[in-house]
Amino acid sequence: MVSPQNPLKSTDGMATFKERLQSAHEMARHPNIRVTDIETRLGTAYTAGSLVVLKDCFPATNFVWLMGADNLKQISRWHRWTRIFNQVPIAVFDRAPYSFGALSGKAARAFFRFKRKRTDAYSLADMQPPAWMFFHTRLHPGSATKIRQSRALKKGIVNADREKLSSK
C-alpha cells in the first residue's frame, strides 16, 4: 500500500505518487506481494483508518504492516498509532542509522511484550495482534534522501539540456 504522502515527512524532492507506485511495482517481485494505491482510492487520511476499512473489506485476508525502522522510531507521532499495533501484525525492517533509536523508542517500549522471536517469522501473518518483529537484515547503502538528491540533480540536468535546445 503506497501512501499518498506521509504528513510527517517533507515533500521537498519527493517523487510523485505515480513514480513511487511504479517503483514499488518494480521492486515487489514476489507473487504474494500486491502493490496497491488503495489508500488513495479509499480516501482515508491515516493508516489506522485505512486498516479498519481494509480489514472490513477483506475479512479473510491476513495483513502484515511493513515498515522501516525510521517509521518505528516516529510512529508514536502518528494518528491513533496504538490502533495500528492492535489491528495487524507488524514487520519492521532495519534501516541505518535508525535501529537503536527505533528499538528504544516509545512504540517499541510500549509493545515490547508483543515483540516476537525471529524463529516465529514464518507465522507472523497468522498471529493475533498485537504482534511485531524486527528484522535485522543486510542494509542497503541507499537512502531516500540520496534518491531524492539524485532525482533533483537529474531533473536539473534534463531541464538545463531542454533550455539549451530551446534557445538554439
Mean pLDDT of the chain: 86
8-state DSSP, 10:
-
Count of domains forming the chain: 2
* DSSP H or E run through 43: none
Shared-domain flag, residues 87 and 151: no
Least confident span in 29-38, 44-53, 65-74: 29-38
pTM of the model: 0.76
Residues 121 and 145 in one domain: no
Do 155 and 134 fall within a single domain? no
Alpha carbon distances (Å) from 1 to 101, 113, 160: 25, 27, 35
Closest CA to 99 of 69, 143, 134: 69
Extended strands (E) in the chain: 65-68, 90-93, 132-135
Count of CB atoms situated within 10 Å of the CB of 72: 25
Distance CA 86, CA 77 (A): 16
pLDDT at 1 over 80: yes
Identify whether residues 114 and 152 lie together within a single domain.
Answer: no
The domain in which residue 97 lies consists of 17-140
Q: Which three cell numbers stand for residue 163?
A: 533550455
> Is the model's pLDDT at 9 over the cut of 70?
yes
